[in-house]
Structure formats: structure tokens, C-alpha cells
Amino acid sequence: KQEVTQIPAALSVPEGENLVLNCSFTDSAIYNLQWFRQDPGKGLTSLLLIQSSQREQTSGRLNASLDKSSGRSTLYIAASQPGDSATYLCAVIGNNDMRFGAGTRLTVKP
Amino acid sequence: DVKVTQSSRYLVKRTGEKVFLECVQDMDHENMFWYRQDPGLGLRLIYFSYDVKMKEKGDIPEGYSVSREKKERFSLILESASTNQTSMYLCASSFVNTIYFGEGSWLTVV
């Protein structure tokens, strides 16, 4: 059974810092990996999808990487802003299986 | 844009009541999912469906059932609500291994 771990569970940084969120998974036989953002009391909003054949995806200030062989993905946020404060979750998508990490709660202080 | 709509955002129900949580998606997706999300536990899959009238148990199906009579609608049923079912419930639909979430339904069982 796929297990997904996100470290750290919570992170607080001053505005303007670059930061990295980590996601690790135990089974490298995956189709895709997806990063989501969740604001308090809301559903999940997709940020980036990396297919298993890709190494990274970029969208604006966000860059996600994938290393299947080591079972790791990172989400890099450049020049963080208070509006980036949210919980970030990764989801590992395999054959008829989708597993989520518990998330990293990010706070960006003005 | 894909839209996944959960009709009830906030519900308060009494122990023993029968509860229906409704989810509708407008993109003709075959796959639909129900998750619950609890602090520190992340998202846990309750049930999923790959087609009309088809359902599969997820990781925590006990105390729940589902109904998929039409492709666009996937209902989660709590036959006899209990206080340990107080949680946030998230519906999702998926296409080509990417997943879209509704806004969530907060259920409190008293």
C-alpha cells in the first residue's frame, strides 16, 4: 500500500523568502503526482500536475519536481507572499489508487 | 472549468439520523470519490465509483454507503450518524489521472 509523507507538517517564513515543501512516497510505480493548495474550510485547488515521465513542472512562482526512483517530490515557492499561506498537499496517483499526504501548513508573515 | 458541487456546506445532525451528502460534477467524468478529512489524518478515501451503479470500498467504508444512479451524481449516505463521523467530507471527480475537488461539506453530529 502506497504511503505518502509530507515534511514539515508546518512551516512559518517571513515574506519574500524562497521555500521548499517535501513529499515522499514508498512505491515508485506511479502515474502522476499532483500538488494541491487548501485554504481553511475550503476544498482542494490543483496547483501542478507532474506526469511520471516528467521531472518538473512550473507555474508562475511555483516549481514542482519529481524523482520517482527515490520516491520524492518537492514544491518550490519563490518570493513567498502572505497570500501563499495555506495547507499544501501532495497526491500520488497510481493504478486505480490515489494517496494523499497529510499536508504542510504554510504561514507567510508580512 | 470543471465544477464539482457539494450541495450542503454545513450540516448539523443528531446521532442516529440518516444523512445524505450530495455531489454533482458537470464534466462527464467517470470516476468520482468521497473522502473525509480530519486534522492530522489527512484525506482518507471512503468510497469511489468508476461508473454508474458501480462502487468500490476505500480505506474507511464502515458506517457509510454510496449511490451512483446517474453519471454526474455521487451520493454519500450515513445510515445512522455517530459523533465520530463529525468531519469535513470532500467529493472529487477525476479525468486522465488528475482530480478535481468540491468545496467540502462540514458535518457535525451531536
Does the pLDDT at position B6 exceed 90? yes
- What residues in B contact A103, CB-CB < 8 Å? 42
Per-residue pLDDT at B1 exceeds 90? no
Contact A32 B42 (CB under 8 A): no
- Interchain proximity B99–A46, CB inside 8 Å: yes
Instruction: State mean pLDDT over B82-96.
Output: 92
Three-class secondary structure of residue B36 per DSSP: strand
A42 interface with B at CB cutoff 8 Å: yes
Inspect the interface and report whether the beta carbons of B45 and A98 lie closer than 8 Å: yes
Q: What is the pLDDT of residue A2?
A: 87
DSSP B85: G
Q: What's the pLDDT at B39?
A: 83
pLDDT in tens, chain A (110 residues): 889 999 999 999 999 999 999 999 999 888 889 999 999 888 899 999 999 899 999 999 999 999 999 999 999 999 999 999 999 999 998 876 788 999 999 999 99
Q: Do B94 and A98 touch (CB under 8 A)?
A: yes
pLDDT at B97: 66
**Chain A residues 62-91 with CB within 8 Å of chain B:** 89, 91
The three grid cell numbers given for residue A109, joined into one nine-digit string: 508573515
Question: Got the DSSP string for A60-109?
Answer: TTEEEEEETTTTEEEEEE-S--GGG-EEEEEEEEETTEEEE---EEEEEE
Per the CB < 8 A criterion, the answer to whether A25 and A71 are in contact is: yes
Question: A93 contacts in B (CB within 8 Å)?
Answer: 97-99
Contact A34 B41 (CB under 8 A): no
Report yes or no: B12 and B106 within 8 Å, Cβ to Cβ: no
pLDDT, position A77:
98
Is B43 at the interface with chain A, CB within 8 A? yes
A34 and B42 within 8 Å at the Cβ level: the answer is no
